[in-house]
Structure 1
Amino acid sequence: MDEQLNDAPCGFLALSDEGTIVSINQTLLSLLGYSLEELSKQNINCILSVPAQMFYQLYFFPLVKVEKQVEEMYISLLTKKGEEIPVLLNACRKEKDGVPLTNCVLIPMRKRNEFENKLLLARNEAEQALAAKNKANSDLEMVLKTLETKQEELLELNNQNQKYKTDTEKELELARNIQEISLTEPIQNEHLQMESFYKASSDLSGDMYGFYQIDPHRYGIIILDVMGHGISSALVSMSLHSLFQRLISRGISADIVMKELDRYLHDLFENNDEARHYCTAIYLLIDTKKQEIEYVNSGHPPAFWQGPCGEQVELFSSTPPVGLIEGIQFKTKTFSYTKGGRLLLYTDGVTDPLGSNHLQSILREHPNDSITELKERILQSLHHKEHSYHKNDDQCFIIVDFK
């Protein structure tokens, strides 16, 4: 590495597309307390906090890959001793000898935090001086001038914070668009017809679903609901999405899919119980040639199967939610179906205002509705109930007709 860059007054590192540290300057090594041998060829996750790891995987890397650069991103690094250091990150993606590299400049922000604390301290000192009746007029005037200067600095800082808020809202909008784009399109062919509905309670949702055609006769359908709402739940659901998409596309059995999701969540939060998240989920592996459905329900509201003659079966949960308890054995259940049946899956954001009995009644009372008409009927019921129901939750449901 160039000597000037190696000793630059800011941190520098270069990353491969796999997140491997290709090069790192001495300034950043000294800041983190590592030697070059300890970090060279290591994954970037080893110096990122857990939230920063998720932010890197789900936001930073996709953004720098698309936009080729990232400016003024605020994350935290971990030193060798486990201390968190806030840094301001700028990055750009370029090719070197045909190999794409992401060059990152990291500027420590601890001084800014210290400066904010000093401003607050100066303000408190000024207020104490104003309250002291025995202070001389000359001292009071000096304090007032100091306060005026500090207030101007604080106003400038507030303006910066407002800009940060605006930028964050734009980034959340981009993240919401990425989350919605990742949702798969319903499948419609000679075997199955699907409809779905998805609505986030805020900018981002903890609900996630996916439809996948594995081969000419097998299909995978999954719906899950991560604990809570907002950014943290959305980050977890998006990280699970890439995993279950890969597993389901390979035609892996339902119990193994759930086991891998459970293992992933336990590994993700292994050293941070306070940040731990779990999720309810139900996965169905449909074989239209055998006319069989293999499924596992982990703490999720029961799906409803309605046969062509109107008989209904509830696909109840048989295990706790994914990521809640280690060592769970996921057992697959299987049932045969006849053509002309209908399947309804949903998250608790739908049943909280409606109730599961109401969903069953809609299915039972309107067996001849098309799948589109049934979807509109459920949405009308949700709209009607939400006027008298105040809890705000993510909402998601899936309808499948078997031809």
Structure 2
Amino acid sequence: MNIGNSLQTKMSIVLLTSILSIMITSGIVLYYIQRFELQKEIVNDSKLSFRRLTNSLKEPLWNMDYKETKNIASIEMENHDVLSILVYNDKKERILGYSKDEYFNIIEVSEPPSNHKFLFYEDVITKEGQDIGYLKIYFTDIFLKRSLQILILKLIIQTIILTIISLVVIYFALNVQIINPVILMNRTVGEFANKRFDARIEVKTKDELGSLSENFNNMAKTIQDYSERMEELVAVRTEELRVANDDLLKANDQMKKELQMAQKIQKAIIPKTFPLVNEFEFSGMYIPMDSLGGDYYDVIKISNTKIGMLIADVCGHGVPAALITTMAKVSFASAARENKSAGEIVDQVNGELYKIIGNMEYLTAFFCIVDIEEETIEYTNAGHPSVFIVKKEGNIIELGQNAPIIGFLNDIKFTSDREKLEDGDRIVLYTDGVTEAMNKDGILFDVGRLKKILTSGKDIKISELLEHITKEINHFTEDSEINDDVTMLVGDYFKKR
């Protein structure tokens, strides 16, 4: 600790200031009292000397004995407070004049002195009713000032001595009674702060410091007991946490294995190859947002002349969505039969999924049956974004929604619509993760931008088209994280010649 900030230094400064203030104030008061008393004494003595000299000079002046007059005046000049005496006859002619020089030697003068005058008296000397002379007497205060100077010096010396004595006595008393106990308390509190919980203050006084020390020791004992119990509790909890952590690690490892298995299963439901059909060429793209997504697509060979194309988007992501996509794939694969329409197939899938997920989850889907012989596409769009048929000329036909979402309601019938296919048509299926990809400014990739890409790329291979679309999405979003699965399935129809 900086010595200037210590309690000892601060108390010493306060004590020194207080004692000096008291001593100086007392000295000033004593100085003015003494000065007043000395001045009062000089005034009284001067009046007495003036009356005495006046009475003593009556006889000599009456008898015109000027030699005696001078003797009386010279005797009075021996008084150190008398500065000058001037005596005149009844005609106001100066008979004598005495004064004191700068060394206070008595000299004869004709005029009163010009300095050191403090009091002045003058009066007419009379006898038997007749004026016989005139007296002037001057008194000095120089000896008063000297006395006061000596008094001031004594007061200064006295103040210094008393201050030193008082400081020493009070300092040692404060050290024993306050400073040393406080230093001891501060040292002990510091040790306690450094986690030495067995530290105690050894102050045995009966005053407030003793009471404070006792309270601290009681508090320290409570904290020490609590700390010891806490250490035991921490040790027990640490062991419990270690066991729980081991269990969590095992469970996490198991979960990772199960998640990896789920990822393998989901990858397996995304077709890597497609049925060989002379009239069609297929290509797909799937970019999941999480390790497990909720999108999938499929191409199902229903017969030699009929092909089923499917894309679905399950609400949500993660394990539940992956499980539902798996169930949907199995359900669509088992329901797709030659004697059923697209609406009937979707209706069967809806009934099977509703039994499992109720109205808690749902999915949107687009399912169509391409009849190669009839050159038609029969489709059911269950709440899914519109599917595009891109013509050779570049114009686009939209296959919009014509049915509700799947898995949310049971007592409904799904219908289908038909559209004519022509040589060179390109069927484009996608999920909303494509058109709802967002850049840093919150702007969507949107349907219009996708249409422009499809129109401008109508003559390139579908694999190149999907690669181009992926690059455009990444460029648009500036490689920021996507917020939904990005999935597309594209099929090119070539009329058999």
Higher strand share: 1
What TM-score bracket applies, with the shorter chain setting the length?
Answer: 0.5 to 0.7
Pick from 224, 238, 242 the counterpart of residue 151 of structure 1: 238
Aligned to 1:373: 464
Q: What is the SS of the residue equivalent to 2:436?
A: helix
Distance 1:367 1:173, change over 3 A: same
1:171 paired residue among 245, 258, 273: 258
Deviation per CA, 1:142-175: give whole Å up to 9, x if none: 4531331221121221132123223312321221
Cα 1:391/1:367, change in 2 over 3 Å? closer
Q: 2: distance between equivalents of 1:338 and 1:242?
A: 31
Q: Which runs of 5+ in 1 are unaligned?
A: 1-131
CA offsets 1:43-84 (integer angstroms, 9 cap, x no match): xxxxxxxxxxxxxxxxxxxxxxxxxxxxxxxxxxxxxxxxxx
Corresponding position of 2:406: 322
Does the aligned pair in 1 maintain the 2:402–2:416 contact within 8 Å?
no
Match of 1:193 in 2: 281
Q: Is the 8 A contact 1:348 1:395 kept in 2?
A: yes
Q: Match of 1:231? A: 319
Helix, strand or coil at the partner of 1:335? strand
Report the Cα offset of residue 137 of structure 1: 4.9
- When Rg is computed on C-alpha atoms for both structures, the one with the higher figure is 2
C-alpha distance in 1 between matches for 2:479 and 2:279: 39
> In the TM superposition, what is the alpha-carbon distance from 1:389 to its structure 2 partner?
5.5
What is the alpha-carbon root mean square deviation over aligned residues? 2.1
The percentage of aligned residue pairs carrying the same residue is 27
Given candidates 296, 299, 303, the residue that maps to 2:387 is 303
Instruction: Tell me the alpha carbon deviations over residues 90-138 of structure 1, each in whole angstroms, 9 at most, x when there is no partner.
Output: xxxxxxxxxxxxxxxxxxxxxxxxxxxxxxxxxxxxxxxxxx9884855
Measure, in 1, the Cα distance between the counterparts of 2:381 and 2:405.
9
- Structure 1 147/337 Cα, relative in aligned 2: closer, same or farther at 3 Å? same
Is there any run of 5+ residues in structure 2 with no aligned partner, and where? 1-218, 438-444
1:242 aligns with 2:330: yes
1:336 to 400, 420, 439: 420
Supply the distance in 1 between the matched residues of 2:483 and 2:339 (Cα, whole angstroms).
36
1:173, 1:203 within 8 Å by CA — same for their partners in 2?
no
2:483 corresponds to: 392
Aligned to 1:210: 298
In the alignment, is residue 258 of structure 1 matched against residue 346 of structure 2? yes
Tell me, yes or no, if the aligned pair for 2:344 and 2:415 is still in contact at 8 Å.
no
Partner of 1:102: none
Q: Distance in 2 between matches of 1:138 and 1:379?
A: 66
Deviations 1:172-195 (A, max 9, x none): 122111111122322343210000
Q: 1:313 aligns with which of 382, 390, 397?
A: 397
Maintained 8 Å contact 2:357/2:407:
no
Report the AA paired with residue 360 of structure 1: K
Contact 1:187 1:193 in 2 (8 A): no
TM-score (norm. length: structure 2): 0.51
Give the distance between the partners of 1:349 and 1:337, measured in 2 at CA: 27
SS at match of 1:216: coil
Check 1:255–1:149 CA distance in 2 against 1; reply closer, same or farther (3 A cut): same
The equivalent residue for 1:28 is none
How far off its partner does 1:330 sit? 1.5
> Whole-Å Cα distance in 2 between the matches of residues 149 and 155 of structure 1?
10
Which of the pair is proportionally richer in helix?
A: 2
Shift of residue 255, structure 1, vs aligned partner? 0.6
Instruction: Flag the 1:386–1:152 CA change in 2: closer, same or farther, 3 A.
Output: same
Q: Distance in 1 between matches of 2:223 and 2:300?
A: 79
Q: Which has the higher relative contact order, 1 or 2, with Cα contacts under 8 A spaced 6 or more apart? A: 1
Cα distance, 1:199–1:136 mapped onto 2, change above 3 Å: closer
Change (3 A) 1:269 1:214: closer
The one-letter code sitting in structure 1 at the alignment partner of 2:417 is K
Structure 2 vs 1, CA of residues 377 and 226 (structure 1 numbering), >3 Å: closer, same or farther? same
- Aligned partners of 2:226, 2:377: CA distance in 1, in Å? 82
Alpha-carbon offset, residue 301 of structure 1: 0.4
Letter in 2 for 1:376: E
